[in-house]
Each structure stands twice: as structure tokens, then as C-alpha cells.
């Protein structure tokens, strides 16, 4: 039985020692890898025949950083900061050989080495902010010395990887190669040794010039990410490079990193990281299936959603048949897709000569027959069950497949991965997960508008909570007629005993459909998407409440947030109980990736668990007392979890 290869190995290539990390799938710098690095470095230093050292990784990429799973455990020595310092202090030159991506602690480790050789196309990044953290192993001090303060701060604050050959990353590498990077790094190390150059410690490099304006600009950007503590900590940590000795600044950053690890925001962001990866894992249903080849797709419906799906499919290299019953709407959709690619070219994100090839893969027609030779058909018609039934009965007539449900599911999951999207598998029940929960939020928003709130009250309460956009502004963006047509919403608003809210009907009847008609809950200047409070809506609301004998009152933001979120969380209890989705975390993934739920709050169920399910139950019961069981009956799962002191996501 062959033993697993060591996580870190030491070998020799002439007078160059080769330290190789082999910790699939992403060479995370776990405790054992860190210990292995120290041992290998000591071995290379002690070996008299060794004149230089190369640090490389096996597999498709250099290190993806620290092992995020370890952040829920007490820190274990050797700490990454110390490991990197050992490499930086090495008496022999150390050359990092970079390929794939070097992220977080992996980028910091490379910056701690004395020289860096990278394969062209390698991406480097400090994405810690996406986990509610900051680079805690010296990156806040070494990156500014290599790429300048402005570029380093941008990297740390937007968390986006950069290509090593991007202009702003010029100072990071000593050589970019198109050949085998490990061999190139060994040759580079030999030349350094031959030339007697010795170690070039990043910490001793001169500090690049920087003006206070640079820090101020990034601080303003950091403050815009209200609700998350890490961004401002990052700016403060990098600024210490100016105010204090290197080692002190590194120690402070490590202390900040350890403190941020314990914040609820970082715990939520780490949960979201793993929940999204978990969601992509096929459950038992798909495990037995094998994905079918995917070359051609058909999209039924040329509206905003259909256009977006067609673009994602084209970007993933598929042929696309866009089917839209109304020829004028089809032409409009094709024109808008063309305009999209012109915009992408104008932004420099695509070469203009790539567009004709993409558009050539787009065809379509008014008849559903155009879908006959598609490997996959995606229905994107508006929320009308009658229209959907008609589409599927026509499809049944032309698209016969022998794909088993497991194959079909495996093919769907493979397609989602190919589109670089996050997919959640759920049962085909009305409203699936997101829309079904959204309905409860929409209902409560309309009720609160009747009771005294104004659109801006509700939207500011939810944006304060962390949503990028408030529910009413989102309604205006999507079009109020879309929600109005939703039969389930109508049932909630008009057919449950004790309340009949026709507010949405009134707006639709007065053709206030949102941005597309220049007025909805807000009014919009021509060509602008900026919502402007509209006195006409306020008057409409006051008149509506008067007619209904509702005494308007000021509704506090806490109540607005509770009624918007607890209805959704309670509904998620029903969704889980009915087995519509198998993993509770998938509910959060849907809201994080599809409905703009603030990531640093982890999602509706992570948020509920943080508050305590017993607290959520008590609040739902209090709302039932006030508004009646027709609207606020606690889900049996919520009651059971509270009784057992458990959360949606576990003990």
C-alpha cells in the first residue's frame, strides 16, 4: 500500500535544494505543511552542498493560503508568520516558483522569499478581506515594498487576484516564464548563487513613496463596506509601515488577524465560503448520474432574465438558441446581447475580434421548434403558471430524452459549474427556495407601507442591515408588474383571512411599474436609475390607509428588519421540513448569491442561528399575537429546534 507523498519534500538539483509542497487540492498552509516547511528549510540550510533554495508546489497551483478550516481552532504553532520569517531570514537565497494562483498566506510566503519566478498567467492575490480577515503573515508590510502602497491596498481591499504580468504587479516577480517554472526557478537560483547575490530580504527594501491622499482614498473605500470591520483594519495595518519598524508592524497585523478571526462577520464569511462549495457537491440524487455532453442550449424567453442566461451560456462557449414568441422582443433581446459585448470590449475586458465568433453562436426564433436539437433547455418566461405549462407541453412534443433524472441532474450541475455559477439542487416546488421566501418579505413590506412606513423607511432599514439595495428599490428595478402577476403573492395579500392589501394593484393600475415606466415606489429622472422619494406615493399611501381605516404609525427599523427577515426564516422552516432542499446551508447560499443577502451576515439561517432560534421563535409568536396566525404561525421545525436548543445549521 503506497504511503501518501509527504506534504513537504526536500530534494536537490545540483547545488539547488528544491522544497515542494504537495497538499491537494489547493496546497493550503495547514499546520503539518508549516511544520514540514520548517523541517525542509532547516535541511536545506544545513546541507553544505546547497547554495540556493527553490520553493515550489505540486498540483495545479501554488498555495491558496492558510487552511481556512483551522481558523475555528486555537492557533497552532508553527505560526505562518514565523514560518515565513524563517524563509526571509534564511542565510541562502530562496526563490519562489509560482504557478496557478498564490493567494493569501501563499502570496505572503512568496513575498517572504528573496526572489520570485512565475509562470505567465499566474494570479496573485490577498483575498483575506473576503473572509472578514486581513493578511496576517506579513503581507501588509511586504506587498507595499514590492508593488507600492496603492496597488497593495487595492489588492487587499477588493480581494481580487491579479495576473503577475499586470502592470501594477510589476515589482512582485523577478522573472515571468513561458517554460517549466520549476526548472526556470532552479536556473534562476543557480545564477543568483553564481553571482554571489545572496538573500534579498523584502523587509529591507526601501519603502516606496506614498502620500496621505492614498491612505485617505482607500480608507473612504473601506468605510463604504460598512458592517465589516476588516477593511478599515487593513488600511490601518498597511499605514503602520510608515510609522513603525517592520517587525512591530507585522506583529500588530497578526494580532489584528487573530482578533478578526473571532468576529461574527468573519465567521459568517468563512461559513459562506464553505457553504457555496458544499452546494456545488452533487447529493445522492445526482451521484449515480453522468453528465451529458453540452454543446448547444436553448433559452425560452428573451426578457432580462433570458438575455442574462444566454450571455452566460455564450461566455461558457455553448451555442445558444434564444426563443421568444414576439419577434420584436426577440430582435430587442439579440440587440441587447450584442450591446452587452460592445460594452465588455469598451471596458477592455475582451478583444473586439472575439465578439463576432461569440455572436455567431447565437441564433433563435419565435418557434419552440428551434430547441429540438438542444442538449439543454432553460425556461425563462415570466412568472405565469399558464405560460409555463404551455412551454413545457410544447417542449414535451419536441424534446424527448433518455437521460435519467440522475443524468439530467448531473448534467445540470456540470452546466452550472461550466457557467462558473453557484447552483443549488432543490425539488420543483412553487417558488423553489428564494422566491418562496421573498414572497413573505414582500408581503410584510406592503403591510408596513399600509401601516405607516414610507418606501425609503423600509429600504434604509434593510440597507442599514447590509443589503446592497432595499426591497422597494429592487421591486422598481425588476418591475412591479412581475410581482403583481405572482399568484402566490396575490394569495398572501388578498386571500388570507383578516387582511386584504391591494396596494400593489393600485400602483400597477396607475402604471407605476418601476424604473421601466419612470415611476414605481420611487420616481426616476430620465436615463437615471437613482430612486427619488415621490410625494405622489406618500399621498397614495396616506389615502390608502385612510380608506382602510388604518391609523398610520412610525415603524422602527428594528421592526422592519424583523418582519422582513423572520417571515422568510419561518418559511425556510417549512421548505426544509418539506424536503424541498436537502442542506439548510443551501438556503443561505441561495440568498447570498441570488438575492443580495449581506455576506458578512452569512445568510438568513446563519443569521437566525446567531440570534438564537428560540429568540426568532419568540419574535414570530409575538408577531402572531399582533397580526394573527394566518400570517405568523411558527413553522413546526422552528418550534422543534427551539425546544431542543438547536440551530438550523446544527447544535
Mind telling me the catalytic residues?
A: 108, 128
Interface with ligand T1G, residue 131, by CB under 6 A: yes
In angstroms, the Cα distances linking 97 to 25, 182, 446, 473 are 18, 6, 58, 49
Number of residues in contact with ligand T1G under rule CB under 6 A? 26
Comparison of 106 and 479: residue with beta carbon closer to ligand T1G = 106
Among 481, 623, 519, smallest CA distance to 490 is for: 481
Comparison of 257 and 271: residue with beta carbon closer to ligand T1G = 257
The dihedral over CA atoms of 423, 428, 433, 437, expressed in degrees to the nearest 10, equals 160
Q: Per DSSP, what are the bridge partners of residue 103?
A: 125
List Cβ neighbours of 510 (8 Å cut-off, separation of 6 or more).
Answer: 540
- Whose cell is 382602510? That residue is 548
Footprint on residues 498-557 left by ligand T1G (CB under 6 A): none
List Cβ neighbours of 560 (8 Å cut-off, separation of 6 or more).
Answer: 448, 453, 457, 458, 461, 462
Please give the Cα distance from 97 to 117 (Å, whole number): 5
Please give the Cα distance from 406 to 286 (Å, whole number): 5
> Closest distance between ligand T1G and the C-beta of residue 29, in Å?
7
Choose one: 61-69, 344-352, 530-538, 568-576; the region binding ligand T1G (CB under 6 A). 61-69
Please give the Cα distance from 420 to 409 (Å, whole number): 17
Q: Residue from 36, 57, 65, 613 that binds ligand T1G (CB under 6 A)?
A: 65
Choose one: 44-52, 127-135, 178-186, 635-643; the region binding ligand T1G (CB under 6 A). 127-135
Q: Residue from 36, 93, 112, 127 that binds ligand T1G (CB under 6 A)?
A: 127
Footprint on residues 71-90 left by ligand T1G (CB under 6 A): 80
Residue 308: count other Cβ atoms within 10 Å of its Cβ: 15
> Closest distance between ligand T1G and the C-beta of residue 122, in Å?
12
Interface with ligand T1G, residue 609, by CB under 6 A: no
> Closest distance between ligand T1G and the C-beta of residue 77, in Å?
14
Interface with ligand T1G, residue 572, by CB under 6 A: no
3-state class of 650 per DSSP?
strand
Comparison of 265 and 559: residue with beta carbon closer to ligand T1G = 265
Rg (CA), the chain: 28
The H-or-E segment that residue 187 falls in is helix 181-194
Cell of 97: 516558483
Comparison of 139 and 466: residue with beta carbon closer to ligand T1G = 139
Please give the Cα distance from 31 to 19 (Å, whole number): 16
List Cβ neighbours of 277 (8 Å cut-off, separation of 6 or more).
Answer: none
Interface with ligand T1G, residue 229, by CB under 6 A: no
Interface with ligand T1G, residue 414, by CB under 6 A: no
Interface with ligand T1G, residue 25, by CB under 6 A: yes
> Pattern of binders to ligand T1G over 87-126, x per CB under 6 A?
--------------x-xxx--x------------------
> Pattern of binders to ligand T1G over 27-56, x per CB under 6 A?
-x----------------------------
Give contact residues for ligand T1G (rule: CB under 6 A): 25-26, 28, 64-69, 80, 101, 103-105, 108, 127-128, 131, 133, 135-137, 139, 257, 274, 277
Amino acid at each position: 500500500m503506497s504511503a501518501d507523498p509527504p506534504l513537504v519534500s526536500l530534494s536537490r538539483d545540483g547545488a539547488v535544494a528544491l522544497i515542494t509542497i504537495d497538499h491537494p487540492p489547493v496546497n493550503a498552509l495547514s499546520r503539518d505543511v508549516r511544520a514540514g516547511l520548517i523541517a525542509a528549510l532547516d535541511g536545506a540550510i544545513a546541507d553544505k552542498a546547497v547554495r540556493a533554495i527553490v520553493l515550489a508546489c505540486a498540483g495545479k497551483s501554488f498555495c491558496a493560503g492558510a487552511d481556512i478550516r483551522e481558523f475555528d481552532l486555537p492557533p497552532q504553532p508553527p505560526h505562518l508568520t514565523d514560518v515565513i520569517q524563517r524563509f526571509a531570514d534564511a542565510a541562502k537565497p530562496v526563490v519562489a516558483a509560482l504557478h496557478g494562483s498564490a493567494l493569501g498566506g501563499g502570496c505572503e510566503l512568496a513575498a517572504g522569499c528573496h526572489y520570485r519566478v512565475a509562470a505567465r498567467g499566474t494570479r496573485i492575490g490577498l483575498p483575506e478581506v473576503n473572509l472578514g480577515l486581513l493578511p496576517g503573515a506579513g503581507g501588509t508590510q511586504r506587498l507595499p515594498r514590492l508593488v507600492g502602497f496603492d496597488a497593495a491596498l487595492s489588492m487587499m481591499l477588493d480581494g481580487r487576484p491579479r495576473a503577475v504580468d499586470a502592470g501594477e504587479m510589476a515589482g512582485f516577480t523577478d522573472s515571468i516564464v513561458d517554460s517549466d517554472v520549476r526548472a526556470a526557478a532552479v536556473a534562476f537560483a543557480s545564477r543568483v548563487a553564481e553571482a554571489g547575490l545572496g538573500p534579498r530580504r523584502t523587509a529591507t527594501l526601501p519603502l516606496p513613496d506614498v502620500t496621505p491622499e492614498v491612505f485617505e482614498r482607500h480608507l473612504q473605500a473601506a468605510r463604504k463596506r460598512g458592517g465589516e470591520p476588516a477593511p478599515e483594519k487593513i488600511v490601518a495595518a498597511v499605514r503602520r509601515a510608515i510609522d513603525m519598524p517592520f517587525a512591530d508592524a507585522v506583529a500588530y497585523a497578526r494580532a489584528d488577524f487573530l482578533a478578526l478571526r473571532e468576529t461574527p462577520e468573519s465567521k459568517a464569511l468563512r461559513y459562506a465560503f464553505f457553504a457555496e462549495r458544499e452546494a456545488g457537491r452533487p447529493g445522492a440524487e445526482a451521484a449515480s448520474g453522468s453528465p451529458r455532453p453540452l454543446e448547444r442550449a436553448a433559452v425560452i424567453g428573451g426578457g432580462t432574465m433570458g438575455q442574462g442566461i444566454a450571455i452566460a451560456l455564450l461566455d461558457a462557449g455553448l451555442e445558444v438558441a434564444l426563443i421568444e414568441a414576439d419577434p420584436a422582443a426577440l430582435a430587442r433581446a439579440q440587440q441587447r446581447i450584442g450591446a452587452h459585448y460592445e460594452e465588455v470590449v469598451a471596458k477592455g475586458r475582451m478583444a473586439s475580434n472575439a465578439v463576432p465568433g461569440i455572436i455567431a453562436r447565437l441564433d433563435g426564433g419565435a418557434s419552440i421548434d428551434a430547441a429540438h436539437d438542444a442538449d439543454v433547455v432553460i425556461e425563462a418566461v415570466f412568472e405565469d403558471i399558464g405560460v409555463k405549462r404551455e412551454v413545457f407541453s410544447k417542449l414535451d412534443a419536441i424534446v424527448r430524452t433518455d437521460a435519467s433524472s440522475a443524468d439530467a441532474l448531473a448534467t445540470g450541475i456540470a452546466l452550472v459549474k461550466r457557467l462558473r455559477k453557484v447552483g443549488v439542487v432543490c425539488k420543483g416546488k412553487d417558488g423553489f427556495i428564494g422566491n418562496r421566501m421573498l414572497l413573505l418579505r414582500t408581503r410584510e413590506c406592503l403591510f408596513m407601507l399600509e401601516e405607516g412606513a414610507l418606501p425609503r423607511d423600509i429600504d434604509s432599514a434593510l440597507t442599514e442591515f447590509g443589503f446592497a439595495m432595499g426591497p422597494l428599490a429592487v421591486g422598481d428595478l425588476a418591475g412591479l408588474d412581475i410581482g403583481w402577476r405572482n399568484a402566490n403573492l396575490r394569495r398572501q395579500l388578498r386571500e388570507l383571512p383578516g387582511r386584504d392589501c391591494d396596494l400593489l394593484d393600485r400602483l400597477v393600475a396607475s402604471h407605476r411599474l418601476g424604473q421601466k415606466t419612470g415611476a414605481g415606489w420611487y420616481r426616476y429622472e430620465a436615463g437615471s436609475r437613482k430612486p427619488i422619494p415621490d410625494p405622489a406615493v406618500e399621498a397614495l399611501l396616506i389615502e390608502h390607509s385612510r380608506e382602510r381605516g388604518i391609523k398610520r404609525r412610525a415603524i422602527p427599523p428594528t421592526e422592519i428588519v424583523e418582519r422582513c427577515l423572520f417571515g422568510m426564516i419561518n418559511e425556510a422552516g417549512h421548505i426544509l421540513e418539506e424536503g424541498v432542499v436537502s442542506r439548510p446551508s443551501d438556503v443561505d447560499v441561495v440568498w447570498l448569491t441570488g438575492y443580495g443577502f449581506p455576506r458578512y451576515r452569512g445568510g438568513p439561517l446563519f443569521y437566525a442561528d446567531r440570534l438564537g432560534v428560540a429568540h426568532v421563535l419568540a419574535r414570530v409568536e409575538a408577531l402572531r399575537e399582533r397580526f394573527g396566525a394566518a400570517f405568523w404561525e411558527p413553522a413546526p421545525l422552528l418550534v422543534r429546534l427551539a425546544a431542543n436548543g438547536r440551530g438550523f445549521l446544527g447544535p
